[in-house]
Amino acid sequence: MDVSITKLVHACLLVEMDGKRILMDPGMFTWNDERFDLSMVEGIDRILITHEHADHVSVDFVQAVLERSNNAEIETTEALGHILSEHNVDSATSGTPQFAAPHERIPMGPGPQNTGFHVEGVLSHPGDSLSFVETMPILAMPFIAPWGSLTAATDRVRLVGPKYVIPVHDWFLTNEGREVMYRLATWGLADDDIELIQIEDFDTVMLTVTV
């Protein structure tokens, strides 16, 4: 199967396959980026949101996408579903296969409810978690975070063993910082036959996987 993946800043991905357009974690860093245009996310079929932190969900972004969508439903956590309902945004908490991916502890204390998503048996997105134990052939991986480390993330990738890993959650880094950090991760995965695919913001890659 051919899978098109566009990185829309930080943890936001546009995944396209079999004629479907799936938007994941439409957060504020994308919404506030002057390079972003809503024409990039016309005709979305599904919206998947891992948790309620603003870098993963912007209510304004979600509402704008829904207005331009193919009657898309939102799939997310129960906690975020309640928050969205307060803004008159309905959501479903089931449908897409979800997997256990608890949010890592943040400096202020325990993180919020977090879920991972398997997309069409091809791609997995764990949100803000390094504690998951399963993945599809393509893994969107938060290598960089205030609650994590590059070493812990690389070890987790080795454990679950995807074919491809796509770094996300890296708004915090400069372009030069990304190059250095992902070069280290690439070296760390070199003996495990796992290919790291770095996607620049607003760029697209096409990957072929067997399902």
pLDDT digits (tens, 9 = 90+) for 100-150: 999 999 888 899 999 999 999 999 999 999 999 999 999 999 999 999 999
The model carries a pTM of 0.97
CA dist., res. 60 & res. 26, Å (int): 10
**Neighbour count for residue 77 (Cβ, 10 Å):** 21
The residue ranges of DSSP E strands in the chain, in sequence order, are: 2-7, 13-17, 20-24, 46-48, 73-75, 98-100, 115-119, 123-125, 138-142, 164-168, 195-196, 204-208
Average pLDDT of every residue of the chain: 96
For residue 20, the model assigns a pLDDT of 96
Choices 3.30.1950.10, 3.40.47.10, 1.10.3720.10, 3.60.15.10: CATH for 2-208: 3.60.15.10
Question: Per residue in 144-189, pLDDT tens?
Answer: 999 999 999 999 999 999 999 999 999 999 999 999 999 999 999 9
For residue 93, the model assigns a pLDDT of 81
Confidence of residue 70 (pLDDT cuts 50, 70, 90): very high
Query: Nearest Cα to 175, choosing from 151, 199, 140, 209?
Result: 199
Structure tokens at 86: 């307060």
Confidence of residue 211 (pLDDT cuts 50, 70, 90): confident
